[in-house]
């Protein structure tokens, strides 16, 4: 069974600095999706970035980028130029590719990392 581990319960960073959140996972599959979700204090979880395992290029969304190391089963999130609005819980998640009957749509979640932004 797949597992996702976020080893940092809490991280803090100075505003405008760069921070990296760690995520490792375990799987025997070769193709899958990886996600980073953000949950601000208002609680609505939103997708930050998505990576397809078959793509070697690391995904990037504005100030957010990932370092995807498939062999090491590592999927870290880098936030550049941190802003106060980045303060939130960040969750790493794994999903198998959909099966023929669309049955593989469960996400496997990490326990989350609380990111604190210091002004």
Between residues 16 and 116, which has the closer beta carbon with respect to other proteins?
116
5: number of Cβ within 10 Å:
13
44 binds other proteins (CB under 8 A): yes
Q: Which residue has the tokens 């999903």?
A: 95
Nearest to 6 by CA among 94, 118, 102: 94
Q: Is 28 in the site for other proteins (CB under 8 A)?
A: no
**Site string (83-112) toward other proteins, x via CB under 8 A:** --------x---x--x---xx-xxxxxxxx
Q: Cα separation of 20 and 40, whole Å?
A: 17
Question: Residue 99 is encoded by which pair of tokens?
Answer: 């099966």
Q: How far is the CB of 106 from other proteins (least distance, A)?
A: 6
Contact between 115 and other proteins (CB under 8 A)? Answer: no
Asked if 45 and 92 count as a contact pair (C-beta separation under 8 A), the reply is: no
Q: What does the alpha-carbon distance between residue 55 and residue 41 come to, in Å, rounded to a whole number?
A: 32
Smallest distance, other proteins to C-beta of residue 65, A: 18
Between 16 and 45, name the residue whose CB sits nearer to other proteins: 45
Applying CB under 8 A, the residues found at the interface with other proteins are: 4, 9, 33, 35, 37, 42-47, 50, 52, 91, 95, 98, 102-103, 105-112
């Amino acid at each position: 069974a797949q597992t996702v581990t976020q080893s940092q319960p809490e991280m803090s960073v100075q505003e405008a600095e760069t921070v990296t959140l760690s995520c490792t996972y375990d799987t025997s599959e070769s193709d899958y999706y990886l996600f980073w979700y953000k949950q601000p204090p208002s609680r609505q979880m939103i997708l930050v970035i998505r990576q397809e395992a078959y793509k070697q290029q690391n995904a990037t969304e504005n100030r957010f980028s990932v370092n995807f190391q498939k062999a090491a089963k590592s999927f870290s999130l880098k936030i550049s130029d941190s802003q106060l609005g980045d303060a939130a819980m960040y969750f790493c998640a794994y999903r198998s590719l959909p099966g023929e009957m669309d049955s593989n749509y469960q996400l496997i979640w990490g326990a989350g990392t609380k990111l604190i932004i210091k002004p």
